[in-house]
Structure 1
Amino acid sequence: MSRNVPQKATGTPGVTGYGRGHRRRTGRGPAATGRRAARLRQRSDAEGTVSTVSTRRTADRGRSFVAGRPPAARDVPAARRFDPLGPVRPLPQPGCDVYLTGTVFLDIVFTGLDSAPVRGTESWARGMGSSPGGIANMATALARLGLRTSLAAAFGDDMYGDYCREVLEHGEHIDLSLSHTVPGWHSPVTVSMAYEGERTMISHGHEAPPKNAATAYDPDAPECPPPAAACVSSLVPDGPQEWITTAARRGSRIFADVGWDETGRWDLSALAELEQCEAFLPNAAEAMRYTRTDCPRAAAHALAEHVPLAVVTMGADGAYAVDGGTGETAQVPGIAVEALDTTGAGDVFVAGFVTGSLAGWPLADRLAFAGLTAALSVQEFGGSLSAPDWPQIAAWWRHGAGRGLADRGRFAFLDRILTACTPSAPPRRAVPTLGFRSPAGG
C-alpha cells in the first residue's frame, strides 16, 4: 500500500471519506517511495461503501482509549467465537479458512487534528491509538469475523514486533506458525494523522532479509501456502506471486484487489495472477483505468470478462458487482457514518465480502455485509483493531443504528445469521501506548 497516490473523494461534498488512494501493499518491498514501496504493504484503506459524514474531533473520544481494557477481558477463546461458516464447513476441513502473507507494520494514529501539521509549529491531537497495521489489518478483520486465519509474515525482534505478534497471536487468535522473527531487524512503522476526513502518513522500514527454504515468501516451500479454503492477496503489475498459483492449484479460492499502477500503463495482462482469482475487488478509479471505461458499472462488466466475479467499490455510491458466469449483478448504496479514522476500512470491506462468499450468501448480501463492516470500522481508532466483531455487528442490527435504516430490508439476512451470536466482551481497541501491563497478580 504505497502512500504516494492522491486521495480520492467518496462523493460526499467537502469530505473525502476513505478513498483507496494512499495504501500499503503486500509483498517484500521496502517501506520507501516509488514502486518498491507499493509492494510492502497490504492495503490499509479502500474506496469502499462508506459515505463519511464527518470526522469526530472530541477529546472525550480520544480519552476513551487511554484506560484500555483489563487484559483478562481482551482475549476471547477462539472456540467461543461465533462461527459464520459452521453450517457449511466441509469435512475433512482444510488447515485454515483464509491464508494471507505480507508485511506487518506498527501503526501510530493521531486523530482530532484541526488541520494538517504546519512546518515550524507544534500540533496537538485529541486522540491517539497504536495497533498492528499493514497486512495485520486484513488478518484481524478476517479473524474477528470468525474465520480461522493463517498469516505468514516477518516480525522484528524489537518491542514493536513483540507487541504486534502478541496482539495478533494471543489477542486475535491468528495462526502465526508460518511467520518468523528476524534478529536485528526493526519493525516497519507508520505514523498516520487524520483530519477533516483526510490522512497524512509517514512510514519507515527496511525489507526483511531473506530466509531459508521454509520462508513464508518461498512459493516452493511445501508448507506455504497451507491448505486453505481461501487466500487473499493484492495483485501487483509485473510483480508475479507464485504462491497464488500454488494455492489455486490446491483448491483455494483466491480473492484479490489491486493498488495504484505507478507505471501508468494500467494493463490487465500485467496482473499475472488475475486468471487464478475467483473475485477481483478494485475501486472505481482503478477499474475504469484498467478497462478504459468511464463508468464504474461498465468497468465491472468489462472485468467480468476476465475474472468470475468483479466487485467495484464506488465510495458514497456503494459497490457494484457482476458475476461473469451467471450474468447476475448486484448493487448496494453506501452507509452514512461519522468517521473517526478510515485506516483499514478497505481491508475490512474485503474481509466482509470473503466471509459472505465462504458462507455461501447471495451476492447482494455479501456486498451489503462488506459495506456494513467497513462502516463500523471507521468509527474506531486504528487499522487492525478497528475491525468489528460479530457481537458489535449484532448490537448494531438489534439495538443500534440498524433500526433506523429506511431500507432495513437490505440487512434482513442478518436475522437469520445472528441467531447463534451471543454478547461477549468488547474487542481490543487501539490505545495510546503499545499496551498496558497486566495488574499485579493478573
Structure 2
Amino acid sequence: MSTPSTVAKSVDPLADIRLPGDPEYDVYLTGTVFLDIIFTGLDHAPVRGTENWARGMGLSPGGIANMATALARLGLRTTLASAFGTDLYGDYCWDSLSRSEGVDLGHSRRVAGWHSPVTVSMAYEGERTMVTHEHPAPPPCLCGPPRTRACVATLEPGRQDDWLRETERQGGKIFADVGWDDSGRWDLAALHDLDRCHVFLPNATEAQHYTRTDCPQEAVRALAELVPIAVVTMGPEGAVAIDSVTGETAEVPGVPVMAMDPTGAGDVFVAGFMTGTLAGWPLDDRIAFANLTAALSVEHFGGSLAAPGWPEVAAWWQTVRRPHGSDELARRYAFLDELIPAVQVPGLRLRAVPTIGFRDERARRDVPDDVPGEVQ
C-alpha cells in the first residue's frame, strides 16, 4: 500500500489497538468511481433556455471515491474494489486515489473500452444539482472481499449483497447507510442486509420515513431495536445516536462553518464515525468528531478532495483553543488533545483542480489549504 506524504503526516487513530495478526486493511469498499465536474459561483439554478455562467470550476474523483478518500485521510488503511476506465478520466481517478491518497486498489481493475462515469455538479445557495452520464459498470473483480476490520455498504430495498455475508463471516463490522426509496414504500423489511449491520447511519428524512416517526430522536430509538448502533444525521444540526452495545446515547450539535458545497459531507460523516468506533471512543466523541469532519468538508468545493485529514482537524482545533475562541467547542472537543500532537506539521491537501491536464503536476505536489482559488 502506498504511503505518500499526505498520508505519512497523518495520525494513526488505531495505533493503540493494532496487533500482530490483525487484518491488513481497516476498511473495504466497493462501488462506482465517477469523475466529478463541479461548477461553482452560480448566481441561481439553471434556467431552461438560458446560459448560466459559473465563476469557478473544479474536477475530482467522486462516487465511492468520496468515502475512500475521507477514510484514507483520517488514517484508516483503506482498500477499494472498483472498475476504472482506461480513458483520461480513469487515469486521473486511479492516480488520485492510489498515488495521492494512499488508497489500495489491488482489488480494482482497469477496463478497456469502458467510458468512465461522469457527474456534473452545480453548487448554488448551499444546494447542488447534478447531471450524470454512466454506462453500466462492469464488476470490479472476481475475488471476494479481503479480511478487514470493517466495510461500508449502501443498502437498497430488495437487494442482498453476498460480499456482505462474507465480510460478516470473516468478522468485519458492517457500517451502512441508505438512499432515497423511489418506490415510496419505505419498508424496513425490504432492507435485507440490515440485520447484518453493526452500524446504520441514515439521514433524518430517510430514518423518519422508514420508522414512520416524526422526529430524529424517535427514529433513532426505533432503529436501535434493529441494529447494535443506530445513528441519525441531521445535516448542520448535528446527529443523534444510540449504542446498544455500550448503553450510550448521544445528541451532539453540528459545528458552525461557512458552508460552500455539501457534496460528499455524508460520506465524510460516516468516515469520521467509523474512525472513532473502530478506535473505541465514547459515543459522544464519535458523533462530535463525525460532525466536525463533515463540517470541515463543506468549507471546500467538490466531494472526495474536500475531505479533511488530521492536519485540517489540528488547524481547526488550534483556532478553537486560541484566546477568544469558543469555550463551548473547546469543552466538547477536548478529547482531541490526546489525538493530535502538540506540534503538528502543517499538512498539504489536494483540492479540486480545473482540468485533468494538471494531474501529473498535482500528483507531485499538494496544494496548501490556504491557497485561494483552488477551484478556478
TM-score by length of 2: 0.91
2:349 partner letter: P
Verify the 8 A CA contact 1:345 1:377 in the aligned structure 2.
yes
Deviation of the 1:93 alpha carbon:
2.0
| 1:336 partner SS | coil
Verify the 8 A CA contact 1:257 1:281 in the aligned structure 2.
yes
Separation in structure 2 between the aligned mates of residue 425 and residue 417 of structure 1, nearest angstrom = 16
Q: 1:276 aligns with which of 187, 196, 206?
A: 196
1:327 partner letter: G
Verify the 8 A CA contact 1:144 1:389 in the aligned structure 2.
yes
Q: 2:162 aligns with which of 218, 242, 255?
A: 242
Separation in structure 2 between the aligned mates of residue 315 and residue 401 of structure 1, nearest angstrom = 25
Deviation of the 1:400 alpha carbon:
5.4
Q: 2:269 aligns with which of 345, 349, 352?
A: 349
Separation in structure 2 between the aligned mates of residue 209 and residue 283 of structure 1, nearest angstrom = 29
Verify the 8 A CA contact 1:390 1:421 in the aligned structure 2.
no
Q: Name the counterpart of 1:388.
A: 308
**RMSD of aligned alpha carbons:** 1.8
1:134–1:189 distance in 2 versus 1, CA, 3 Å: same
1:247–1:365 distance in 2 versus 1, CA, 3 Å: same
Question: Percent of counterpart pairs with the same letter?
Answer: 62
Match status 1:190 vs 2:119: yes
Verify the 8 A CA contact 1:97 1:230 in the aligned structure 2.
yes
1:141 partner letter: A
Q: 2:344 aligns with which of 416, 419, 422?
A: 422
Of stretches 189-198 and 113-122 in structure 1, the one that deviates more from structure 2 is 113-122
Q: 1:404 aligns with which of 325, 345, 350?
A: 325
Separation in structure 1 between the aligned mates of residue 194 and residue 62 of structure 2, nearest angstrom = 25
TM-score by length of 1: 0.78
Deviation of the 1:203 alpha carbon:
0.3
Deviation of the 1:171 alpha carbon:
0.5
Deviation of the 1:324 alpha carbon:
2.3
Can you list the C-alpha shifts for 1:159-211, whole angstroms capped at 9, x where unaligned? 0000000000000010000000111001000000011111110000111235x
Of stretches 345-354 and 291-300 in structure 1, the one that deviates more from structure 2 is 291-300
Separation in structure 1 between the aligned mates of residue 35 and residue 125 of structure 2, nearest angstrom = 23
Q: Name the counterpart of 2:67.
A: 138
Separation in structure 1 between the aligned mates of residue 347 and residue 254 of structure 2, nearest angstrom = 29
2:351 partner letter: R
Separation in structure 2 between the aligned mates of residue 430 and residue 316 of structure 1, nearest angstrom = 23
Q: How many residues align?
A: 358
Verify the 8 A CA contact 1:104 1:153 in the aligned structure 2.
yes
1:116–1:254 distance in 2 versus 1, CA, 3 Å: same
Separation in structure 1 between the aligned mates of residue 46 and residue 37 of structure 2, nearest angstrom = 16
Structure 1: 5+ residue runs without aligned partners? 1-73
Deviation of the 1:315 alpha carbon:
2.6
Q: 1:304 aligns with which of 224, 228, 232?
A: 224
| 2:270 partner SS | helix
Q: Name the counterpart of 2:109.
A: 180
1:427 partner letter: R
2:102 partner letter: H
Separation in structure 2 between the aligned mates of residue 420 and residue 181 of structure 1, nearest angstrom = 43
Separation in structure 2 between the aligned mates of residue 416 and residue 422 of structure 1, nearest angstrom = 13
Q: Name the counterpart of 2:91.
A: 162
Verify the 8 A CA contact 1:311 1:321 in the aligned structure 2.
yes
Verify the 8 A CA contact 1:82 1:421 in the aligned structure 2.
no
| 2:276 partner SS | helix
Match status 1:264 vs 2:184: yes
Q: Name the counterpart of 1:32.
A: none
Of stretches 324-333 and 75-84 in structure 1, the one that deviates more from structure 2 is 75-84
Match status 1:333 vs 2:262: no
1:325–1:356 distance in 2 versus 1, CA, 3 Å: closer
Verify the 8 A CA contact 1:385 1:430 in the aligned structure 2.
yes
1:400–1:108 distance in 2 versus 1, CA, 3 Å: farther
1:336–1:79 distance in 2 versus 1, CA, 3 Å: closer
Deviation of the 1:320 alpha carbon:
0.4
Separation in structure 2 between the aligned mates of residue 325 and residue 191 of structure 1, nearest angstrom = 41
Structure of higher RCO (CA pairs closer than 8 Å, 6+ residues apart): 1
| 2:185 partner SS | coil
1:79–1:116 distance in 2 versus 1, CA, 3 Å: closer
| 1:341 partner SS | coil
Deviation of the 1:272 alpha carbon:
1.1
Verify the 8 A CA contact 1:82 1:420 in the aligned structure 2.
no
